[in-house]
Amino acid sequence: MNARLSKLLHFVAGDAQADRVVPPTGYTARLTVFAAASMAFLAVFALALSLATGRLADRWGEALAKSSTIRISAPADQMDAQVLAVTEVLATTPGVKEARPLSQDEQRALLEPWFGPDLPLDQLPIPRLVEVIEDEEGIDAEGLKARLAGEAPGAVLDDHARWREPLVRAANRLRQLGFVAIVLIAALAAVVITLAASAALSANEQVIRVLRLVGARDNYIARAFVRRYTLRALSGAIVGTLLGSLAVFLLPPAGDQASFLTGLGFKGWQWLWPLAIPPLAALVAFLATGQAAKTVLQEKR
């Protein structure tokens, strides 16, 4: 382990003299830095998307799982009796933290977007709604349905499972797509850096010929290129990550009723995640350039 660490430190510290054997300029250098910065910038957003959709899935899942609604349809003269029966059932149901019938005003507010503000609720056969807030353990939905069927035949329990599941499934799929995007970005970075390194190696054919002439091993030549491209990718990725993180930070803040878009970003310790991007980019560059150098040097035998 110590030997590996020492090797890594030696690689990072480098050999100033050895570094100079490769010409310092060239468009591939700028290309690599730009590509690494761009990829890191995109990776920050893909990461933010993944984490945000993860939070969204959790939030939807938790919020909807902890509440349910009982809808009571009954003739007007039996409605109050059925509501009373339902609240009595709920009062003795394990897992119910709080239960209350929605008031006329609350039901009117719910229907207002469709029917306007002056809806005469008392004259219409509108079902009454009872909101049920569950405790940590939750209710036994099937057991409650059976009890309601006996005590209040007009009451139907809606535990939100029917439309909660597709929402959570969609959010989880989005989270997975975010991670797939990160993997694709890493792969694309590897491709771009490989192409840049291969182009640099080909453009420096004369340098390679001279180095071989004076007794340089292929490892030495490869290391000079690999180190340079790894450090370029690292520096580009640091810039891209900083800019990406800043852009995420400057997104409109998420309120309590955060919608999908305003919720995009990092929360708390999640801000540490982008820190993994520059070392990851450097690792990708290290492996990609190493492979490119090995291939090109073998071809130039």
- For residue 48, give the nearest of 263, 282, 281, 239 by alpha carbon: 263
The distance from CA 287 to its chain's CA centroid, rounded to whole angstroms, is 26
Cβ atoms of 51 and 253 closer than 8 Å: no
Neighbouring C-beta atoms of residue 233, cutoff 10 Å: 33
Stretch that binds other proteins, among 21-29, 96-104, 166-174, 240-248 (CB under 8 A): 21-29
Find tokens 């490869």 and name the residue: 222
20 binds other proteins (CB under 8 A): yes
Window 24 to 63, contacts with other proteins (CB under 8 A): 24
Stretch that binds other proteins, among 3-11, 136-144, 211-219, 255-263 (CB under 8 A): 211-219
Stretch that binds other proteins, among 15-23, 33-41, 106-114, 159-167 (CB under 8 A): 15-23
17 binds other proteins (CB under 8 A): yes
Among 18, 29, 243, 251, binds other proteins (CB under 8 A): 18
For residue 83, the number of C-alpha atoms closer than 13 Å in the C-beta half-sphere is: 16
9 binds other proteins (CB under 8 A): no
Supply 196's token pair.
Answer: 């840049």
216 binds other proteins (CB under 8 A): yes
The distance from CA 220 to its chain's CA centroid, rounded to whole angstroms, is 41
Window 179 to 208, contacts with other proteins (CB under 8 A): 206-207
SS3 state at 157: strand
Among 27, 217, 252, 253, binds other proteins (CB under 8 A): 217
213 binds other proteins (CB under 8 A): yes
218 binds other proteins (CB under 8 A): yes
- Return d(Cα 293, Cα 298) in angstroms, integer: 8
Cβ atoms of 267 and 55 closer than 8 Å: yes
- Closest distance to other proteins from the beta carbon of 24 (Å): 7
Q: Residue 198: enclosing H or E segment and its boundaries?
A: helix 161-203
13 binds other proteins (CB under 8 A): no
- Closest distance to other proteins from the beta carbon of 212 (Å): 7
- Return d(Cα 217, Cα 224) in angstroms, integer: 11
Cβ atoms of 188 and 42 closer than 8 Å: no
Window 260 to 299, contacts with other proteins (CB under 8 A): 297
Q: Residue 67: enclosing H or E segment and its boundaries?
A: strand 67-72
Cβ atoms of 8 and 209 closer than 8 Å: no
- Closest distance to other proteins from the beta carbon of 213 (Å): 6
- Closest distance to other proteins from the beta carbon of 288 (Å): 21
Window 68 to 127, contacts with other proteins (CB under 8 A): none
Among 210, 246, 275, 276, binds other proteins (CB under 8 A): 210
- Closest distance to other proteins from the beta carbon of 235 (Å): 21
Among 113, 215, 255, 268, binds other proteins (CB under 8 A): 215
Supply 168's token pair.
Answer: 């959570």
Residues in contact with other proteins by CB under 8 A are 17-18, 20-21, 23-24, 206-207, 209-220, 297, 301
